[in-house]
Structure 1
Amino acid sequence: MSLFGLKTSNPAFTNYFWENPRSKSASGKMTLQGVIAKSVFCLLLVTLAAAFVWKLYFDGVSITWYTSGGIIVALLCSILISVKREWTMPLTLIYAIAKGLFIGGFSAIIHGKFPYLPFQAVIITLATFLVMLFLYLAKIIKVTKKFKSVIIAATTVIFVIYITAFILRFFDIYISFLWSSSWYAITFNVIVAIFASLSLLLDFDFINKYVGKAKKHYEWFATWGLLVTIIWLYVEILRLLRKLAVR
């Protein structure tokens, strides 16, 4: 069973994006090494873009346009990837840079108030990624259809809440359990971080099914999908650490 035709909570791994992935006209096949290489390269772009904005912030330069522009461009890239699959490679690179600008500014602001918190979030994110990869490879957690349905349903609700909260902020309406440091807000943040972590298992499973079968350029879809989940996980962990620091 799946929700809205999705096989993973990550939009990059929907049936739509992977339509006819086993076409005989493909030149080369998707490999795990290819996905890893592209993912590492894009994470490097994220890091460089984040470091650029980080430096600007501590040099006293306003970074509002960088952070706001970054999240908007990243959103536009995601939309374009959904309708122009042949543009996935350049759009994924732009997405990585744009998200780097956003998290660079977001992280710098938090670091300014709570020193070294972003570095802790990076370490926890990396550790979580490795743990989830181990759990998947060791088959300690099996990605069954029921498991997928639960994760997809939960993440769909989470994103609806976030989108609704984002729109309400334009009307000066704030959802307290999203932005405050109350124990309700912290509990919600913990739950979101858990589902972000579990989403990695679904992504690993979907990529594994198409290694050696999908066309070579689908490695960029896989890379974009992993970026979406990893950056989401990092942001949630950093938000959680900030709330705990305030407490």
Structure 2
Amino acid sequence: MRSSNPVFSRRGFSRDNGYAGFNTAPQAGYAQGNPYAQNPYAQNPYAQQDVQYGAPPQAPVTTDRMTMDDVVVRSAITLGTVAVGAVLAWALLPVSTTSYGLAVGSALVAFVLAMVQSFKRTPSPALILGYAAFEGVFLGVFSEMFNSRWSGAPFQAVLGTMAVSGATLLVYKAGWIRVTARYARIGISIAIAFMVVMAVNLLLVAFGVAEDGGLRSFGPLGALVGIFAILLGAFFLTLDFKQIEDGIAYGAPRNESWLAAFGLTMTLVWIYVEMLRLVAIFSSSD
């Protein structure tokens, strides 16, 4: 699968169809459609020996499969790297033209690293943590700039991000949202259309055709766009949750948990940035 977060190109954990095995259930013994179905122990040289001595053949114990603990640990490491980078940037880089330039540069480097990882066939912890570090620097400067004008906005944005993420997880686990191929197709199509519109809006603002940020203004229209972007972030989270479930169910290799952490981090960064802008918009209207 390609998609499940703003990069739209991270592959999924199973390829029974185009959407990470949505609408398919893991089959006992790793079904034929499962990319991890090729069990290297299928031809057990000791199976006949077990039968010969009257003992039932034992299934091989595999320990190199992704678990929820793996996802949690690697997500904590990746998000922790983002947090450390943000705190250091906030503490060491005062708000200035120079720090703004560093923030833009860090964002570009993070974007390049994310693109490289997204098109790699295997996860690279170095690329993922490098992305997290540079993204953290960007978020630190970005948050400090907002805080200098709207005091407390970053803290409120963090709380808002946690609330959206927690609510999305609860809704997903309760089964109120079923991540199917059709659901993913429609959501990704809407997300791509949104990004195209935002890119056009950016060009119009850059050339002076649209004023005050256009669709991304700090007014009612900007607030509506921000709310829509946060809802898209929640949509990305449901795809991330589904991919993690599929990865564990289908016995994905343990290193795939880095991809899960990578996707979750990008999605949470997306939600935080949009939440920070939304908090600033509502603070401006007071």
Please tell me the TM-score bracket, short chain as reference. Answer: 0.7 to 0.9
Corresponding position: 1:50 with 2:100: no
Alignment equivalent of 1:208, drawn from 225, 232, 245: 245
- TM-score, with length taken from structure 1: 0.87
Corresponding position: 1:8 with 2:8: no
Quick check: 164-173 or 119-128, which moved more? 164-173
- Write the mapping of 1:67-146 to structure 2, written as runs, cut at 5 A: 67-86=103-122, 88-146=124-182
Q: Rate the CA distance shift 1:59–1:168 in 2: closer, same or farther, 3 A.
A: closer
8 Å Cα contact 1:203-1:225 kept in structure 2: yes
Q: Deviations 1:37-92 (Å, cap 9, x if unpaired)?
A: 01111111111110111112448793123211211111111121133344621100
8 Å Cα contact 1:12-1:224 kept in structure 2: no
The corresponding residue for 1:193 is 230
What displacement does 1:164 show? 3.6
Q: Rate the CA distance shift 1:16–1:226 in 2: closer, same or farther, 3 A.
A: closer
CA distance in 2, matches of 1:165, 1:21: 41
8 Å Cα contact 2:13-2:247 kept in structure 1: no
Query: RMSD between aligned alpha carbons?
Result: 2.6
Q: Rate the CA distance shift 1:67–1:21 in 2: closer, same or farther, 3 A.
A: farther
What displacement does 1:147 show? 2.1
Q: Deviations 1:197-218 (Å, cap 9, x if unpaired)?
A: 1221111011101115111111
8 Å Cα contact 1:181-1:243 kept in structure 2: yes
CA distance in 1, matches of 2:238, 2:119: 26
Alignment equivalent of 2:99, drawn from 63, 68, 82: 63
The corresponding residue for 1:224 is 262
| Aligned sequence identity (%) | 26
CA distance in 2, matches of 1:172, 1:216: 50
The corresponding residue for 1:163 is 199
8 Å Cα contact 1:17-1:82 kept in structure 2: no
Residue type of the alignment partner of 2:169: L
Q: Rate the CA distance shift 1:210–1:87 in 2: closer, same or farther, 3 A.
A: closer
Q: Deviations 1:13-52 (Å, cap 9, x if unpaired)?
A: 7447867852656971111110110111111111111011
The corresponding residue for 1:234 is 272
CA distance in 2, matches of 1:180, 1:163: 14
8 Å Cα contact 2:71-2:257 kept in structure 1: yes
Query: Helix, strand or coil: the match of 2:197?
Result: helix
CA distance in 1, matches of 2:96, 2:118: 38
Residue type of the alignment partner of 1:147: Y
Structure of greater Rg: 2
Query: Helix, strand or coil: the match of 2:112?
Result: helix
Q: Which runs of 5+ in 2 are unaligned?
A: 16-33, 41-61
8 Å Cα contact 1:70-1:98 kept in structure 2: yes
Query: Helix, strand or coil: the match of 1:141?
Result: coil
What displacement does 1:167 show? 4.9
- Larger RCO (CA under 8 A, 6+ residues apart): 1
Q: Rate the CA distance shift 1:215–1:21 in 2: closer, same or farther, 3 A.
A: farther
Residue type of the alignment partner of 1:243: I
Residue type of the alignment partner of 1:229: T
CA distance in 2, matches of 1:18, 1:116: 42
How many aligned residue pairs are there? 243
Quick check: 147-156 or 31-40, which moved more? 147-156
Q: Rate the CA distance shift 1:238–1:59 in 2: closer, same or farther, 3 A.
A: closer
Query: Greater share of helix residues, 1 or 2?
Result: 1
Query: Helix, strand or coil: the match of 1:142?
Result: coil
CA distance in 1, matches of 2:216, 2:86: 23
Q: Rate the CA distance shift 1:7–1:113 in 2: closer, same or farther, 3 A.
A: closer
Q: Which runs of 5+ in 1 are unaligned?
A: none
